Structure 1
């Protein structure tokens, strides 16, 4: 784990001459009046984050590239929805220079626990205990989505229409990239028919984290209860359910052999039961309608977010890969 963290840090500083890692450490120490500074055990792809020991507590300082800044407004919105699970953040002056690209500095409150990535690697209990933690996490994830539902974003028709156009264009590009897989291409084309309803004034638009992942969700390792939500630089607004692909991914990750779909279905049953309880919805037809629409949004979110990410990294050809889009078939099953 330490070697992996060091490689990510080295990659972050490799392309720049200033500021160096040592200069960032010194700046963080001066900023927080820390007695010691050490790198966070898990690093992001576009940032360098350190933990600063200040008397009897820890402060977090993150240095982020110009394309990965954190919006003060988005953090306030996130804290309004999710409370103290979202760290408070203070922006400070930039460091570096224009040639290498400025690094934006953020000071954050510390959240206990560890990343879900770390917790999964350390989990060695007997199967019964492990499964209990998996179901606990699915309930916690349901609470996250229920809070978004209870605190919808306000969007006008023009903004909704603009968001729909962007999503439609991503789906069109994806369908073109899938020319070798007609059955998946047809599926993506049908998803376009769902967009008018999902981006209508009558459907809930919610604040997205934008990068829900194993490294941005903090949990208490003994229970898998969520203790923090970090990494909000990609936050935005989208239809309710758009980000539920993370729930589907986690159901697969928890399913260690990858084939026990009955266990995956059991985990998802726990998720949906907790979600509707938190939303206060008892009526079965209403539950069915909400789930149907949310799963449409989830499938669109899975398609567009993964396609856009892979396109940014290397284009549609890289997305296709040697074995085809196998992740689509598994996650959509």
Structure 2
């Protein structure tokens, strides 16, 4: 299994985030990717390759053009308004009964219009990093379309919280959605996206919610008590043509492997019934028992079992990195999953 990664993805290097009403050290940091790379090399897992270059066209199949223009132009706009801070945080949003059809001219209004939380700062190199992250996912998708049976897109920053036209949850471009759409455009009639991150993949759900050609499944912490709070309930099944093709498995704080694995089994059974041509796995490692911002209890050796169960589906499978913030253990847990898949 080849791994795709670009050093440019390290350029987005936030120092702080707003969390629980406080300014805290950032958790989605470059060392997350470095730990995974180090582990891949230590166990000689396989070749690590640079992503290919792509035009914006496959990204614009998923994201609104004005949003992508905002991301690419943001730092110029920020500095042109005389801002000298090296990190930009939104602080006001067009929530209920406020207008969303007019994009403000002023930079703080734009930030709020194109975001949904205050925990995802933007810096001078954010656009470079997130575009290369998306190209990492696209390279994996292209490899699958060309006949590869598996690939690992080491995407960083992650993507599954990003919606069509706004960012948040450390995510700017929805890498899994972009990859799934690329696969659809290059021969796959049906694609399943299975999100095993601790947090619900709200952006991926919203993007495919009315579609039958991309099945979305997510095992995650109950949104009544956990970020992103406002999507991810079990009764969200899809709408229109997408009805019954969206499946959520919300679980309580403290969930151990014995309970989590039952949701995994249910999701795999649904994938088998759907019969996709290819599987995209949003691979979050923050279900780990020592993750600093999460409340599940999976152990390092249990990540092997995730990979083994996914391999039993017998599908071409693209793994796309999402969350996971126990940095010292991240590489071990990630490679355990990939190893379990490869050795099945």
- TM-score, normalising length: structure 2: 0.29
Highest CA radius of gyration, 1 or 2? 1
**Higher helix proportion (structure 1 or 2):** 1
